Structure 1
């Protein structure tokens, strides 16, 4: 079966030359959310007492985090473990104690509350606080702005090539997003990002002052390939 309409050429012709360019954008923006990891420990002479102690400490930490209301966007409990501590006893071994551990992850958007919550959690006994990891939300407007900037740069670059030949752009043939296969993960630490961590065993006395945290600027990157047709050049 044939068609009267000719298929477009996969490359340019002298009458309709093609120009292929790449547009890039790199924006530095403030983070929108911060993630902290909280590891709670407990110890008991038997499995039951260790579990009860861990349950109590876990409840304290969750209650403290939830008391910050809407400042906490996400709260999840992760790994949980109860393990024996063995010691030599004659020719064999016996259980000396049991250790419990539970991990909590919290995501906050209020960075003032973050500094206070971090120190209050670290002030709890047998509690370790890791983070914060700064990031943007997946639907952050910054991602869209970076993509629009990359497209504008591609058009500008193609127009400059055409102008150098005494031609002008005629039509867009193709636009490809090079970052479509590598979306960012919500609330997770970036691979190259810095991590600030602290491990504290709480002590009796006055509450620790709130940490003055300086949010880490985030880099938003977008890249596109674009192909255009242009009018015949004036050579």
Structure 2
């Protein structure tokens, strides 16, 4: 025998109670991401490309030398762009600009400041970041969802109790929001730090930067509908 199907609305025999459940956690980040832009410039295209290749390899080797402290490293956009000189009888290339962008994720925040400083000390190299993030499969998200559901159930019980009755059954549960707030890439991701090799060289072997991780807010929200035992009003 199957249970009777409940209508999608409340009735006097099964009043409907709709609530929202929320959770907000403040947690430490799991990863710090930095962006590294390596550039080269020269009048000869092949020489510019060779310089860019060498500097890119140097930056990659430096990042990878930190072993387990680096969770991932990837190469993004690569470009070699000619810059034309002033117009004359024919177009001539005045110089070539080369650029490679790298992204690295670190789990060891102690090594982060040292690596950032050493990368910034390389020729024609710029470092951006750090951006503090959680992994996509972080258990923090699951914890926030569970707390949001418990909050919805608790609210429903409290409303029912205020009417002198109890919750009877769950009709619907919907995930209405999930996300994390912290340091975002546009600069709200906290401290956007940009240094160039020229800056680093003027500091004569600069001390490693002290980069403190910024705590993040993770939010979850659900909506839930319950039926109640009819109250005596």
Count matched residues.
228
Match of 1:157 in 2: 155
> Hey, what's the Cα distance between the residues in 2 that align with 1:165 and 1:37?
57
Match of 2:32 in 1: 34
Matches within 5 A, 1:57-72: 57-72=55-70
* Residues 142-186 of structure 1, C-alpha deviations (whole Å, 9 max, x = no match): 11111111111111111111011100111111111113xx778xx
Match of 1:201 in 2: 197
79, 83, 88: which one pairs with 1:81?
79
Match of 1:223 in 2: 221
Deviation at 1:29, TM superposition (A): 0.9
Match of 1:178 in 2: 176
Q: Which moved more, 1:4-13 or 1:69-78?
A: 4-13
Match of 2:133 in 1: 135
Judge conservation of contact 2:85–2:93 (CA < 8 Å) in 1: yes
Is 1:97–2:99 an aligned residue pair? no
* Residues 182-227 of structure 1, C-alpha deviations (whole Å, 9 max, x = no match): 778xxx8489533512131243884321110121211101000111
Judge conservation of contact 2:32–2:107 (CA < 8 Å) in 1: yes
Q: TM-score normalised to the size of structure 2? A: 0.90
Secondary structure of residue in 1 paired with 2:86: strand
Deviation at 1:5, TM superposition (A): 6.7
Judge conservation of contact 1:133–1:196 (CA < 8 Å) in 2: yes
Q: TM-score normalised to the size of structure 1? A: 0.89
> Hey, what's the Cα distance between the residues in 1 that align with 2:188 and 2:42?
39
* Residues 28-65 of structure 1, C-alpha deviations (whole Å, 9 max, x = no match): 11111011110001112200000000011001000000
Structure 2: give runs of 5+ residues left out of the alignment. Answer: none
Judge conservation of contact 1:134–1:189 (CA < 8 Å) in 2: no
147, 167, 170: which one pairs with 1:169?
167
Judge conservation of contact 1:130–1:199 (CA < 8 Å) in 2: yes
1:16–1:95 Cα change, 3 Å: same
Deviation at 1:7, TM superposition (A): 3.3
